Amino acid sequence: MNASATTDTIRVLIGDDHRIVREGLKQILADAPDVQVVAEAQTGPEVLDQVAALQGRAGLDLVLLDIALPGIDGLDVLQALKREHPRLPVLMLSTYPEKQYAVRCIKLGASGYLNKSADPDDMLAAVRKVAAGGVFLTPTTAEALATAVGQSGAQAGPEALSHREHQVYRLLTQGQTVSEIGAQLGLAPNTVSTYRARILEKTGAKNDVELALYAERHARAPKTP
């Protein structure tokens, strides 16, 4: 594809820490003559370095970015990319439920959110739309956005959490300890404990077990108008 690439080719960077996922994405994108994967990265810092090396928009048209990245969390990477390369579209990919994460990603500047289990045709449609400057919204994401816009006052569910609280919340519900979370996010354990206390207060959970059950309920709860 390199030899036949044209100015109309959509140049993509894939940021995901799982090689099997990257290979799967590359296979899907390889079937599209107008899409070329020009770089890949498996950590947050690698994504930022690769984008800088490609000089942002000048040598890159789209970043496919996982939320759960080692080194620097995917949401922090998203924020850094939007600060340093505001015109570079970012399409978030994740295994996490759209209801919990899509709105947060869009608010942080992502041009779309897609679950990794999405149909290949939907994946290609999302890549093309986002690279062209559009925003890709699945019906679930669109409904979640409409609900978020319609809310006033205190928010319900995980959306009530701040960006950093939500990062800690996600890692707590994955079973990580305060020390592990601190190491991953670059925070002191005492700081993580403070965030944990705020999260428990906002969610009404008394401990990490109840917090995990809370996360499960909100992941499966039916959408409300």
DSSP H or E run through 35: strand 35-41
Q: How far apart are CA 221 and CA 191, in angstroms?
A: 31
For the chain, percent of residues with pLDDT exceeding 70: 89
> Residue 175, Cβ neighbours under 10 Å: how many?
9
Q: Give the pLDDT confidence of 78-87 residue by residue, as tens digits.
A: 999 999 999 9
Q: What is the pLDDT of residue 148?
A: 63
Type of residue numbered 45:
P
Q: What is the pLDDT of residue 11?
A: 96
Q: What is the pLDDT of residue 166?
A: 87
Q: Give the pLDDT confidence of 152-210 residue by residue, as tens digits.
A: 444 456 777 888 888 899 889 888 889 999 998 888 999 999 999 989 888 888 888 78
The pLDDT of residue 18 is above 70: yes
Q: Give the pLDDT confidence of 26-66 residue by residue, as tens digits.
A: 999 999 999 999 999 999 999 999 999 998 777 999 999 99
Q: How far apart are CA 183 and CA 191, in angstroms?
A: 11
Beta bridge partners of 92: 65, 113
Q: How confident is the model at residue 4 (pLDDT cuts 50, 70, 90)?
A: very low
The pLDDT of residue 218 is above 80: no
Calculate mean pLDDT across residues 138-161: 67
Calculate mean pLDDT across residues 140-154: 64
> Residue 118, Cβ neighbours under 10 Å: how many?
15
CB 201 within 8 A of CB 212: no
Q: How far apart are CA 105 and CA 98, in angstroms?
A: 10
Q: What is the pLDDT of residue 127?
A: 96
Residues 6+ apart with CB under 8 A from 132: none
Q: How far apart are CA 125 and CA 26, in angstroms?
A: 15
Q: What is the pLDDT of residue 8?
A: 84
The least confident of 88-102, 124-138, 141-155 is 141-155
Using DSSP's 3-state secondary structure scheme, residue 38 falls into strand
